[in-house]
Amino acid sequence: MPVTQTQGIAPAIRLENVRYAIRDLALVAEQVMAKGHKVLPLNVGDPNLFDFETPPHLIEAVHQAMRDGKNGYAPSAGVPEALDALRGEAARKGISSLQDVFVTSGASESVDICLTSLLNPGDNILTPCPDYPLYSAVLAKLGIGLNTYYLNEADGWQPELEDIQRKITPRTRGIVLINPNNPTGSVCSRAMLEQIAELARRHNLIIFSDEIYDKLMIDDDECISMAAVAPDVPTVTLGGMSKNFLAPGWRLGWSMVSGDPAMVKPYLAGVHKLLRSRLSANHPEQYAIKIALEGSQDHLIAVRQKLKSRRDITMDRCNSIPHISCVSPRGAFYAYPKLDIAEDDEVFVKELILQKHVMVVHGSGFGQKPGTKHFRIVFLPDEATLSKAYDAIEEFVRERYR
| 322-351: pLDDT as tens digits | 999 999 999 999 999 999 999 999 999 999
State the average pLDDT over residues 152-165: 97
Does the structure show a pLDDT above 80 at 128? yes
- Spatial separation of the C-alpha atoms in residues 249 and 293, rounded to whole Å: 18
How distant is the alpha carbon of residue 18 from its chain centre? 16
pLDDT at 27: 76
* 392 shares its domain with 328: yes
pLDDT at 311: 98
Q: pLDDT band for position 33 (50/70/90)?
A: confident
* 387 shares its domain with 251: no
* 92 shares its domain with 198: yes
Of 227, 236, 225, the closest CA to residue 264 belongs to 236
67 within some domain:
yes
286 within some domain:
yes
Does the structure show a pLDDT above 70 at 80? yes
Secondary element (H or E) of residue 387: helix 383-400
* 131 shares its domain with 30: no
State the average pLDDT over residues 223-245: 97
Does the structure show a pLDDT above 80 at 320? yes
Mean pLDDT computed over every residue of the chain:
94
**Where in the sequence is the domain holding 304, given as residue range(s)?**
13-52+298-400
State the average pLDDT over residues 225-234: 97
Q: pLDDT band for position 315 (50/70/90)?
A: very high
4 within some domain:
no
Amino acid, single-letter form, for residue 168: I
* 288 shares its domain with 321: no
Q: pLDDT band for position 381 (50/70/90)?
A: very high
Each residue of 250-261: pLDDT tens digit? 999 999 999 999
Looking from the CA of 249 toward its CB, the CA atoms found within 13 Å total 7
Looking up residue 208, the CATH number of its domain turns out to be 3.40.640.10
pLDDT at 12: 79
Burial of 362 (0-12, 13-18, 19+ CB in 10 A): buried
* 75 shares its domain with 203: yes
CA dihedral angle for residue 26, residue 380, residue 107, residue 375, rounded to 10 degrees: -60
Does the structure show a pLDDT above 70 at 382? yes
Range from 16-30, 83-97, 247-261 carrying the lowest mean pLDDT? 16-30
Pairing mode of beta strands 172-178, 124-129: parallel
Strand, helix or coil at 99? strand
Secondary element (H or E) of residue 357: none
**Other C-beta atoms lying within 10 Å of the C-beta of residue 30:** 10
Does the structure show a pLDDT above 80 at 19? no
State the average pLDDT over residues 36-49: 91
* 286 shares its domain with 245: yes
* 195 shares its domain with 68: yes
* 150 shares its domain with 232: yes
Does the structure show a pLDDT above 80 at 3? no
Whether 31 contacts 357, CB under 8 Å: no
8 within some domain:
no
Q: pLDDT band for position 22 (50/70/90)?
A: low
6 within some domain:
no
Each residue of 256-311: pLDDT tens digit? 999 999 999 999 999 999 999 999 999 999 999 999 999 999 999 999 999 999 99
Whether 279 contacts 250, CB under 8 Å: no
Last residue within a domain, chosen from 273, 294, 315: 294
Whether 316 contacts 357, CB under 8 Å: no
Which residues lie closer than 8 Å to 285 by C-beta, 6 or more apart?
62, 65, 241, 247, 250, 251, 252
* 86 shares its domain with 158: yes
Looking up residue 311, the CATH number of its domain turns out to be 3.90.1150.10
Q: pLDDT band for position 6 (50/70/90)?
A: low
Whether 206 contacts 123, CB under 8 Å: no
Number of domains in the chain: 2
* 225 shares its domain with 277: yes
Q: pLDDT band for position 10 (50/70/90)?
A: confident
* 217 shares its domain with 339: no
- CA-derived radius of gyration, the chain: 22
Percent of the chain clearing pLDDT 70 (strictly above): 97
- CA 97 to each of CA 93, 100, 215, 240: distance values in angstroms, whole numbers, following the listed order: 11, 10, 22, 20
pLDDT at 4: 72
